[in-house]
Amino acid sequence: MTDQPFRIAFLLYPGVTQLDFTGPAETLARMPGAALSFVAGSDAPIASDCGLSVLPTATFDDDRAFDMICVPGGPGCTEAMEDAATLDWLRRQATEASYVTSVCTGSLVLAAAGLLRGYRAACHWAWTDKLALFGATPVRERVVIDRNRITAGGVTAGIDFGFRVIAERCGRDIAEAIQLGIEYAPEPLSGGTPDSARPEIRDLVTAAINQRLADRHAAIDRIAARFAAG
């Protein structure tokens, strides 16, 4: 580490899942030297999927390079996957960033930008397999590190992801000190992954996702076909 700030950018877009970026932001903000920005296409407030509005602190037009970029997921990810300005900004930043990262379906946005081709990557369990359509290798793990790509599973995995980044940069002692400071000691119900869930619960949730989000499946498949063609 150096005395220079470690500049971290979280991408914002309409329909983003707020915990996908606020979870890791709470951990990473405590990392020595961290300087966080929240970047969007304009400086207008961004409405998350739960109705919480967030005010960007930077835009794509700002002449600023970041050491780490992080793409959160959310219902708006398919629109982000087709937004030329978003994809261009990600590609530009990725050329200089030390870490190119994502949480949940944010990895699909990275993939649509061509930034996960040939990399192992994670995603929300319901969408992990879609990564293969963009040349990535899907991995069903909480956090996946492949060279300078660090990708996390769904939503709450973003907190674990934040600690992995801290451990990578600053070591285990600092990561665990921050963990203690924010009292991160989850005691979850069983069943937080498809493998650990009761079969009837897994089937119920999978059926609901497939029915409710059929349009998202179709949109991702359409974007992937265009990606493969060009």
- Binned at pLDDT 50, 70 and 90, residue 211 comes out as confident
Host domain of residue 114: 6-187
141 domain-assigned = yes
207 domain-assigned = no
**pLDDT digits over 94-135, tens only?**
999 999 999 999 999 999 999 999 999 999 999 999 999 999
Token readout for 62 is 């700002």
Number of domains in the chain: 1
Token readout for 17 is 């899942």
pLDDT of residue 212: 83
157 domain-assigned = yes
44 domain-assigned = yes
**pLDDT digits over 38-94, tens only?**
999 999 999 999 999 999 999 999 989 999 999 999 999 999 999 999 999 999 999
202 domain-assigned = no
229 domain-assigned = no
43 domain-assigned = yes
Active site residue 70: no
CATH of the domain at 153: 3.40.50.880
pLDDT of residue 180: 97
Give the CA distances from residue 8 to residues 16, 28, 49, 129, 185, in Å, rounded to whole numbers and listed in that order: 18, 9, 22, 28, 25
List the alpha helices (DSSP H) in the chain: 18-28, 77-81, 84-94, 106-112, 157-170, 172-181, 199-212, 214-229
Residue of 70, 77, 104, 123 with catalytic role? 104
Long-range contacts of 50-57 (CB under 8 A, 24+ apart): 50/17, 50/18, 52/18, 54/12, 54/18, 56/12
88 domain-assigned = yes
Round to whole Å and give the CA distance between 179 and 21.
17
